[in-house]
Amino acid sequence: MKKLLVLLVMLTPSILFAQGWKSKTLITLGDNNISAKEFMEVYEKNNVKSDVIDKKNVDEYLDMYINFKLKVIEAENRKMDTLPKFVKEYDGYRKQLAKPYFSNDAATEILVDEAYERMQWDLNASHILIKCDPHAVPADTLKAYNRAMELRKRVLSGEDFGEVATEASNDPSARDTVVNKRSYKGNHGNLGYFSVFDMVYPFETGAYNTKVGEVSMPVRSDFGYHIIKVNSKTPACGMIKAAHIFLAVDEKDPLKSDSVVKAKIYNIYNEIDKDGKNWDIIVKKYSDDKGSASHGGTLTPFKVSQIVPEFINEVKKLNDNEFSEPIKTSYGYHIVKLISKSGVKSLDEEKENITKRVEKDMRAKLSDEMVLKRIMKEDKFKEYVKVKDAFIATIDTTLQQGAYKVSEGVDVNKVLFKFKKDEYKISDFIEYIKQHQSAQPFMTSASYAYQLYDEFLKESAFAYEDAHLEEKYPDFKLLVQEYHDGILLFDLMDKEVWKKAELDTAGIKAYYEQNKENYMWGKRVKTILMTVHNEESLARAEEIIKQDISADSIRSIIKAESLKGVTVKSPYFQQGDNVDIDETEWVVGTIRVIPSTVDKSTKIVKILDVREPEPKTYKEARGVITSAYQTQLEADWLEALKEKYPVTVNEKILEKVRKNYEK
């Protein structure tokens, strides 16, 4: 064991030395040093073609890399990375690249699976609400919680849930109300049917986690504390298509009193054929819902949460195309006919839609909270709660009014919280308050202050993480640097090469004159190429092409004689451009008729002129000449950059780089 320890001690410096060369300078460009490690990171990222990389590849890439870095250094020295256009584009790219570091894919996946499982069921539930501001001070929160617990005990001891809700719930829908002289019956706490995404997430979770017939512990949402009783849990209907016959009740009208309408709806029910064949006729004849009566009483497709629970109760009992006995709702009497229920699709079919809803729903806050906790843990977050509470205690009603003024005697230099390298003081929070405050007449100053503090803490944590992403994640740093350098390179190349060449007409023409022998046509023929699609026109077309006239004259004759299905072109061809032309004898005056093997068309080729190899005109060569001129401009510019930023390569380190990629 002692010998092994001695050996390890002896080897450690050697290992460190073996790796240490990567931090040494490989390339010097003027005053700029680039380490072997920096070069190798980029090289490996862009050379993932095989496990074995030969020396030639390293040397070739080194030349390309040097040319690239020369341009980037020049752009930076010109301060191009400070221009508004660059900053805007770079910041946009960086924000997109940073997004994955501020999302929790695992949390989203769990929430999607949870939502899909809940989607299988429709719940019917009642609740008692005790209001409590989401940012209430601890004392008010505790008071609301204790009140909710008192009401829960009353229900558990045997009192009727609906009666307790009617008496004590802060949800006004529990009690009878009058609005604009119209009376509305209270629901006694019954919220009817709902499914996933229909309620705020905490309430939804509380309901789905409570068994049928049981009463939950107080569940906190932004509205306050809920005591939830689940009345039923049934297989999900999904989207429902249904129709109804409807008779309205109006106690002010003797002909529409409850007893009269009830008797009438049962008479109508008895008129309907057992198989429902006369349904449409009955609907049109009797239903008070004139909007749906003209098309069989069919309603707009709906979910269970979008219609009164009595109606859903009947829907859940029916099979497709069955109709119910008369039922009463708060609107009147109905006979319900079920057309169809969509049910729930497979997870694969629903996943994309569920994911979008999860990301927009308040569930997304859970993902944010998980990311926030991770940041706090990784970056050694520490909060000084006593300092926070003491400061918030000094905040008066000026905050509630949206015009906060700092109280006398506040030590703004006290630290509220800190991460590894940054401290956040009361003065920072005060600045945040001033920038984000607004009048809050329905909140206490303390509640509003705690809300702003939570937002300030989250924004500060995310901003701290964002500022240190490159430091924490080398891959992110490399990718961001690539975007940074790539944008600079594009802007500089556009200025120094592409636009320069485009605008330098005299330079391009001069380059053409000096190099025109490099842009030659091969041996060519000028032809008349006639295509005949109509057999009746073929004989006349052959007669016309034999005449010693131009393509334009041929077109004029075809038009004058209204020859159908004949087209004429007169292009040049080089060897290899066209099989039919290659197989035609290149002698002036040669005419060749070529029937198609695919359809009934026929091609007629006539050789007009044979031209020996010759330089392309400036106009003909403009595209390739411009590209070549740009290449020449870039080469000349690179030579100038190498003089401006002398290039030195450390051959000893380069050899180590080469060997690193040998087998």
Question: What's phi and psi for 562, nearest 5 deg?
Answer: 55, 45
Same domain, yes or no: 460 and 391 = yes
Q: How many domains does the structure of the chain reveal?
A: 4
Same domain, yes or no: 267 and 337 = yes
Query: Is residue 338 a part of any domain in this protein?
Result: yes
Closest by CA position to 554, among listed 571, 529, 572, 535: 529
Residues in CB range of 144: below 8 A, 6 or more apart: 130, 131, 132, 136, 224, 225
Question: What's phi and psi for 253, nearest 5 deg?
Answer: -110, 115
Helix (H, G, I), strand (E, B) or coil at 327: strand
Using pLDDT thresholds of 50, 70 and 90, give the confidence band for residue 625. Answer: confident
**Residue 15: what pLDDT?**
40
Residue 138 contacts residue 255 (beta carbons within 8 Å): no
**Residue 17: what pLDDT?**
42
Using pLDDT thresholds of 50, 70 and 90, give the confidence band for residue 56. Answer: low
Using pLDDT thresholds of 50, 70 and 90, give the confidence band for residue 53. Answer: very low
490: pLDDT strictly greater than 70: yes
Mean pLDDT estimate for the chain: 90
Last residue of a domain, one of 294, 325, 343: 343
Using pLDDT thresholds of 50, 70 and 90, give the confidence band for residue 227. Answer: very high
Question: What's phi and psi for 230, nearest 5 deg?
Answer: -90, 120
Same domain, yes or no: 230 and 271 = no
Q: Average pLDDT, stretch 535-555?
A: 92
Paired strand residues for 604: 530, 593
Lowest mean pLDDT among 102-111, 426-435, 559-568: 102-111
Instruction: Give the C-alpha separation, 450 to 519, whole Å.
Output: 75
Query: Is residue 2 a part of any domain in this protein?
Result: no
Last residue of a domain, one of 187, 213, 235: 235
Looking at the chain, the whole-number percentage of residues with pLDDT higher than 70 is: 96
7: pLDDT strictly greater than 50: no
HEC sequence for 616-655: CCHHHHHHHHHHHHHHHHHHHHHHHHHHHCCEEECHHHHH
Lowest mean pLDDT among 100-109, 271-280, 400-409: 100-109
**Residue 258: what pLDDT?**
93
Same domain, yes or no: 453 and 393 = yes
Lowest mean pLDDT among 51-65, 351-365, 401-415, 608-622: 51-65
Query: Is residue 101 a part of any domain in this protein?
Result: no
Same domain, yes or no: 313 and 226 = no
The domain containing residue 596 runs over which residues? 521-615
**Residue 48: what pLDDT?**
55
Same domain, yes or no: 144 and 208 = yes
State the burial class of residue 442 (Cβ atoms within 10 Å of its Cβ: 0-12, 13-18, 19+).
exposed
Residue 144 contacts residue 131 (beta carbons within 8 Å): yes
Query: Is residue 146 a part of any domain in this protein?
Result: yes
Last residue of a domain, one of 467, 499, 532: 467
Same domain, yes or no: 231 and 250 = no
Same domain, yes or no: 285 and 321 = yes
Residues in the chain: 663
71: pLDDT strictly greater than 90: yes
Q: Average pLDDT, stretch 291-315?
A: 94
CATH of the domain at 155: 3.10.50.40
Same domain, yes or no: 454 and 545 = no
Using pLDDT thresholds of 50, 70 and 90, give the confidence band for residue 427. Answer: very high
Same domain, yes or no: 264 and 293 = yes
Same domain, yes or no: 228 and 245 = no
**Residue 663: what pLDDT?**
57
Closest by CA position to 24, among listed 654, 550, 663, 658: 654
Q: Which residues of 316-334 are buried (b: 16+ CB within 10 A; e: fewer)?
A: bebeeeebbebbebeebbb
The DSSP 8-state label assigned to residue 300 in this structure reads P
Same domain, yes or no: 229 and 140 = yes
Query: Is residue 360 a part of any domain in this protein?
Result: no
Instruction: Give the C-alpha separation, 335 to 320, whole Å.
Output: 14
**Residue 54: what pLDDT?**
47
Q: Average pLDDT, stretch 637-663?
A: 90
Count CB-CB contacts under 10 A for residue 375.
Answer: 20
Helix (H, G, I), strand (E, B) or coil at 512: helix
Using pLDDT thresholds of 50, 70 and 90, give the confidence band for residue 10. Answer: very low
Host H or E run for residue 425? strand 423-425
pLDDT, tens digit, for every residue of 583-597?
999 999 999 999 988
pLDDT, tens digit, for every residue of 362-400?
887 887 888 899 999 999 999 999 999 999 999 999 999
Query: pTM of the full predicted structure?
Result: 0.59
Query: Is residue 539 a part of any domain in this protein?
Result: yes
Count CB-CB contacts under 10 A for residue 104.
Answer: 20
119: pLDDT strictly greater than 50: yes
Query: Is residue 642 a part of any domain in this protein?
Result: no
Q: How far is the CA of 357 from the CAs of 109, 119, 204, 316, in angstroms? A: 12, 13, 14, 26
pLDDT, tens digit, for every residue of 244-270?
999 999 888 899 999 999 999 999 999
Query: Is residue 491 a part of any domain in this protein?
Result: no
Cα of first residue to Cα of last residue in the chain, in angstroms, is 34
**Residue 2: what pLDDT?**
43
